[in-house]
Structure 1
């Protein structure tokens, strides 16, 4: 299995962002339009469904035509749907306005699976949604790392830090940075720590 360190993840994110819209790497710091990137650049189908009864599954990346059980609120049971290869299913509860940052991170996480793990999931004929082994947990961490690198590109983070760095206290700086990139305060805090900023 290929090893991905943080430098490699930032490099992959930069390459993918440059191919989609170079201003996300070279322009003013701003939020990455992750839904547009998924649908327009990759041609991935986005569908919003209740993926589980209690909302513990946030996203599923479908690598080959599959039948996926989704939870139907009306009938109070799981119903099968057909999902085509190249589909990302996202739990529709994330469409609530208070879940916006979680939605964006889930989309980036699932896109990261598509970028990094397509070959593995096609070979094993499984979905990128459930963790059952150490290697699955490793792939989930990799998808989190690349998702963060896509939503918060290293170079744009550094540019934004230079703008605010000395003017704001740490807490306010993290809040402002999270606002610029449309991510949660927690996600920004972790990203800055991992970048040593």
Structure 2
């Protein structure tokens, strides 16, 4: 599952010519033909959603009450759903497919959510760039876990916890 997500993220980055950090999610949206819509959601637990309707551009809705880094992760997460999952059909006046990202998305209990999170991590923090940026840090920073995490989070424009999990998943820290 994580391998499929990593491969799909790598393909998207290669197709779009994104080879440096931080990854430009707005440019990737244009590449994918996705409209990004930001607004404050009434339910503060919802970070974002993906809405797909036949014949129309997919829309990623993002809760703009959340931090910029969280919004970036949410957008990448929704791209994962777009490329990997069909979504759940909701019938309004016509069928629409929806994926929601809420507080349960990060708890690693739903296969599609786990895979979309793995996709987002792979997209925003590609393994080769993480290795490269880690080696660029001064030795003193690399040896201090908190400083290392904060420095890499700033480079990739993600949260400290996101880069922390990525470093663990890449086997770079225990």
TM-score, length basis structure 1: 0.72
Match of 2:40 in 1: 50
Q: Superposition RMSD on alpha carbons, in Å?
A: 2.5
Q: What CA distance in whole angstroms lies between the structure 2 residues aligned with 1:143 and 1:113? A: 6
CA distance in 2, matches of 1:91, 1:62: 14
Residue of structure 2 equivalent to 1:41: 31
Cα separation, 1, equivalents of 2:126 and 2:57: 28
C-alpha distance in structure 2 between counterparts of 1:184 and 1:106, whole Å:
12
Match of 2:53 in 1: 64
Equivalences for 1:141-152 in 2 at 5 Å? 141-152=114-125
Secondary structure of 2:98 counterpart: coil
1:183 Cα offset (Å): 0.5
Q: Which has the larger radius of gyration?
A: 1
Q: 1:85: how far off?
A: 4.7
Tell me the CA shift for residue 112 of structure 1: 0.9
CA displacement at 1:122 relative to structure 2: 6.0
Structure 2 residue matching 1:89: 3-state secondary structure: strand
Aligned residues: 160
Distance 2:32 2:89 in 1: 17
- The reply on whether 1:156 has 2:152 as its aligned counterpart is no
Question: In the TM superposition, what whole-angstrom CA distance separates every residue of 1:74-121 from its partner, at most 9, and x where no partner exists?
Answer: xxxxxxxxxx55111112323xxxx1111111111111111111x354
TM-score (norm 2): 0.81
Specify every segment of 5 or more residues in structure 1 that has no aligned partner in the other structure, as ranges: 25-29, 66-83
Check whether the contact 2:64–2:71 (CA below 8 A) recurs between aligned residues: no
Residues 8-157 of structure 1 aligned to structure 2 (within 5 Å): 8-24=4-20, 30-38=21-29, 40-51=30-41, 53-64=42-53, 84-94=56-66, 99-117=67-85, 119-121=86-88, 126-129=97-100, 137-157=110-130
Gaps of 5+ in 2: none
Using the alignment, how far apart are the partners of 2:128 and 2:101 within structure 1?
A: 32
